[in-house]
Amino acid sequence: MKTASSFSVRPLVAALIAAACSLGAQAAAPNEPIQPIAPAKVTHPAMVELGKKLFFDPRLSRSGFISCNSCHNLGMGGSDNLKTSIGHNWQKGPINSPTVLNSSMNLAQFWDGRAKDLREQARGPIANPGEMAFTHELAVDMLASIPAYRAEFAKVFHQQPLTIGQVTDAIAAFEETLVTPHARFDRWLQGDSKALNADELAGYQLFKESGCVACHNGPAVGGNSFQKMGIVEPYKASVDAPGRSAVTGNDADRFNFKVPTLRNVELTYPYFHDGAADTLGQAVDTMGRLQLGRQFSEDENARIVAFLKTLTGEQPRIVLPVLPPSSDATPRPKPFDQ
Amino acid sequence: MKTASSFSVRPLVAALIAAACSLGAQAAAPNEPIQPIAPAKVTHPAMVELGKKLFFDPRLSRSGFISCNSCHNLGMGGSDNLKTSIGHNWQKGPINSPTVLNSSMNLAQFWDGRAKDLREQARGPIANPGEMAFTHELAVDMLASIPAYRAEFAKVFHQQPLTIGQVTDAIAAFEETLVTPHARFDRWLQGDSKALNADELAGYQLFKESGCVACHNGPAVGGNSFQKMGIVEPYKASVDAPGRSAVTGNDADRFNFKVPTLRNVELTYPYFHDGAADTLGQAVDTMGRLQLGRQFSEDENARIVAFLKTLTGEQPRIVLPVLPPSSDATPRPKPFDQ
């Protein structure tokens, strides 16, 4: 009897314990300063698909050579892995290109937050003479000269003519899908205690205890505040960017930058707004000294780096769009005609 | 009885007629100077997958900015749609970038055929100072510094160390999959008489009768011979390329170039080795006058163009590869350090 009873009860008890653990862990996540990333909810797939085409289309640049994906390469963590980007005519960019992954979670766009959202951000590089070096008018004329684009815009937006607002709406809609859920760290947050090893967990504890988490928190592990670069010690930047003060006009905001997301940070080297730190180890060391006044030991540094690598999420699965061909009426790119 | 009999026989007769027609059409294809493209047979998927990563990896260039896909963009017919390409430091390329689509069918690679196959071709741009401006040694060092690449090469090639030969083998294996079957013209060749409309068929007749087909034939509608550019009238090229004579040393081969494939020609503008023809209409007009001594009327030109657009095949479905991140030991790209 007893044996039979214990046999029938055991699975139930086990299930209850598992459920409780799982619940506990799920409930525990809100008590952590970092929250899991939710998968993207696509509400307008046709707009996303159009935005993807535009994101990959180098005809939005004067040269016909530079697309959004050139500097926010979706095969490379949504970044270009260069200290500062290469723009039209091989111009050297003034600042490191931030990742487009999870960028919809940022409180504002660009390092200095001068664009309030992705839609506004997307206007920038197209018309920036140092980046894609085009104009919004020429971009719209180019797109409107291509029958397949014209039809796709009309279908998505139900209004004509095609506008730059539609272009940036579509690009932003695509970018909003570029989230990276299911990182090992998120699995741990959601109750899978085996998702992190002892070093990674120790790194996370250190990340919290030493104060990194004061700025790097939330689902994006950053992206939600502006902070001064160089609090304890000044940062000697290799680029000449004033930061947030350029937007607010307030000198107190000088060298304040948007805290970058640490999601997928393993993929988005080099680090800082000037791309000066080539490796995660260098970045952690500099941040410890300049922001926290703390010199991490080699072991501590390695543990924090090990933790940071658990933030690499599932990368968006991108089927390369086949771009509609230019028509006879499409103005041709001018890569060498300065 | 009669009715019942005819009812039961009719479908059989219809099926026999349909089978005969279909057979006839299938049998007809060999009598046409153009043959359908067969879908790719992937014999070594792991090598193809590795080759795809390499094809998209800009770390094979000195700048970390230029990948094979920069000039052979798989979203743009395997070309860059520029007259001549943009190389390292925005150098102007000496010749139009040919499509990588169906390039395994070419009798040799490059406009002058200086590489015997895709494997040999892939060595070129990596080390060309005007293109990716890297060296084979640096490319191999870069790859070998990345644990995930090292493991993938070892798994695919079963030998170490990693070599440039393995790199070009993998890129070539990927490129061999970049074929574009199921064009409307192929469906017509295979017996679907409705696949082409009257104008397109008339264009094909004209293409054959006027002699275009003398050079543009076979499954790739070209790519299988070297021919002089400017037979009836000389071609005034806007670039200074000697053509085949640079390879053979034979002055008689001057201005001989590999006949380009016309597969997907709608997507691979601009045309000719100097990219001087922006539109298909211009290209057909120039070819008619210079190669055939024939001035096509506007209607004739339009019909040939209509036919050429039926050669656009199914574009390869490419899931963008997620590239393995550089390690701390990976040498960093040098985009601005001349």
Would you list the DSSP string of B77-127? TTB--SSS-EEGGGEEPSS-----TTGGGSSSBSTT--BSSHHHHHHHHHH
Coil, strand, or helix at residue A304? helix
Condensed to tens digits (0 to 9), the pLDDT of residues B201-236 reads 999 999 999 999 999 999 999 999 999 999 999 999
Q: Inspect the interface and report whether the beta carbons of B86 and A63 lie closer than 8 Å.
A: yes
Condensed to tens digits (0 to 9), the pLDDT of residues A267-312 reads 999 999 999 999 999 999 999 999 999 999 999 999 999 999 999 9
pLDDT at residue B131 is higher than 80: yes
Coil, strand, or helix at residue A257? strand
Q: Inspect the interface and report whether the beta carbons of A325 and B80 lie closer than 8 Å.
A: no
B131 counts as catalytic: yes
Cut 0.95: pTM above it: no
Condensed to tens digits (0 to 9), the pLDDT of residues A91-136 reads 999 999 999 999 999 999 999 999 999 999 999 999 999 999 999 9
The vertex-B109 CA angle with B122 and B62, nearest 5°, equals: 30
Mean pLDDT of B280-290: 98
pLDDT at residue B18 is higher than 50: no
- Is B46:B34 a contact under the CB 8 Å cutoff? no
Q: Which among B93, B74, B98, B162 has a CA at the least distance from the CA of B132?
A: B93
pLDDT at residue B68 is higher than 70: yes
* Phi, psi (deg, nearest 5) at residue A318: -110, 115
The vertex-B315 CA angle with B263 and B143, nearest 5°, equals: 105
Task: Find which of B96, B332, B338 to mutate to test the A interface (most A CBs within 10 Å of its CB).
Answer: B332
pLDDT > 70 fraction of chain A, expressed in percent and rounded: 91
Q: Inspect the interface and report whether the beta carbons of A336 and B63 lie closer than 8 Å.
A: no
The pLDDT-based confidence of A197 (bands split at 50, 70, 90) is very high
Q: Which amino acid is at A25?
A: A
Start-end of H helices in chain A? 2-28, 45-56, 68-71, 118-127, 136-144, 147-157, 164-176, 184-189, 198-209, 245-248, 280-292, 298-308
The vertex-A53 CA angle with B56 and B83, nearest 5°, equals: 65
Which residues are CB-neighbours of B246 under 8 A, at least 6 positions away? B112, B114
Q: Which residues does chain B have within 8 Å of residue A318's beta carbon, measured at their own beta carbons? A: 319-320
* Phi, psi (deg, nearest 5) at residue A73: -70, 120
- CA R_g for chain A: 23
Q: Give 3-state DSSP helix, strand, coil % of chain A, rounded to 5.
A: 45, 5, 50
- Is A290:B290 a contact under the CB 8 Å cutoff? no
Q: Which residues does chain B have within 8 Å of residue A323's beta carbon, measured at their own beta carbons? A: 75-76
Catalytic residue among B49, B120, B131, B300: B131
The pLDDT-based confidence of A46 (bands split at 50, 70, 90) is very high
Structure-block tokens of residue B127: 């080390």
Put simply, whether B75 touches A (Cβ < 8 Å) is yes
- Is A118:A103 a contact under the CB 8 Å cutoff? yes
How many residues would you count in chain A?
Answer: 338
Question: To the nearest whole angstrom, how far is the Cα of B8 from the nearest Cα of chain A?
Answer: 48
d(CA B170, CA B157) in angstroms, rounded, equals 9
pLDDT at residue A14 is higher than 50: no
